[in-house]
Amino acid sequence: MPTVEVTASKISSVARTNADRGIARDSATGTSTSGSSGSCQASFTTGQYRYKRTAAYFDLSAYDSGSIVSSATLKVYCRNSSFTDTANSGLVVVGDSGANSNPADPITTADFDLSLYDLTNLCGSEYWSNFASTWRNLTLTSTGLAQINPGGSTVFFLLEGNDHADFVVTGRNDYEVWDALLPKLEFTYTVPPDPSEIVEADLRISQTITADLAISQTVTEDLNITQTISEDLSITQTNSQSLAISQTIEKELII
């Protein structure tokens, strides 16, 4: 099973800021997007709540469609981080709740809507705190593996932990995902069998079954012949016995 590492084609982000926390976090649309940089943020500063979410896009078209992914790690480099509310601080990876089409490419303000996503943490239940200026390897769960689409595209949505937990923040919690060191996706997969090989295997099985049926028919015919010979022998024995009786009667008549 081959293991490959693919660098994200790009990262993009969508954000919303408002004095009302519910509007800032739970609105169906963001107020701004960035098509080439990203960070994961859940902050309250100068009377404003700000939530920022980042998409990491991967082009997997070079790999065989239908391949089965058995393990995967999402590698994220954060250049800077700051956190106040440490209870839930960290990065959380989620995915599309449907056909892996959200966030869109390019990202739009509509991709801010959390109802578009399955908010199950695709890297388990752990939150990671300060890991600025270092790579963090996030092992994907079985649900996360299902988001990977060899032969097509895959996108992961990154949230700050307090945003994911719907925690009322009191300060700045921000993880800057650096576009100069884009996220990487390492995964191990099994290539699906060649359809022509399946057809050939099915043909060989069919030929074997046909040969077995022919042997079975031959055995049946041999049994029928054996039964016929046995019946002929029985008739011969009966005729011999009848002849012996007839000769005995003739002798008695002569006497």
Instruction: Assess whether 70 and 136 both reside in one domain.
Output: yes
> Of 192, 214, 247, which residue is a domain's last?
192
Instruction: Assess whether 170 and 209 both reside in one domain.
Output: no
Q: How many domains does the chain have?
A: 2
Instruction: Assess whether 166 and 242 both reside in one domain.
Output: no
Q: In which domain, by residue range, is 199 found?
A: 193-255
Instruction: Assess whether 178 and 235 both reside in one domain.
Output: no
Give SS3 for 180.
coil
Write b or e for each residue in 211-235: b if 16 or more Cβ atoms lie within 10 A of its Cβ, otherwise e: eeeeeeeeeeeeeeeeeeeeeeeee
Mean pLDDT per 10-residue interval, the chain, length 255 residues: 96 97 97 89 96 96 95 90 82 80 92 94 71 82 93 94 94 86 96 70 72 72 70 66 64 64
Instruction: Assess whether 155 and 202 both reside in one domain.
Output: no
Average pLDDT for the chain: 85
Instruction: Assess whether 141 and 203 both reside in one domain.
Output: no
User: Phi then psi for 120, rounded to 5 degrees?
Assistant: -60, 130
pTM recorded for the entire structure: 0.76
Instruction: Assess whether 31 and 46 both reside in one domain.
Output: yes
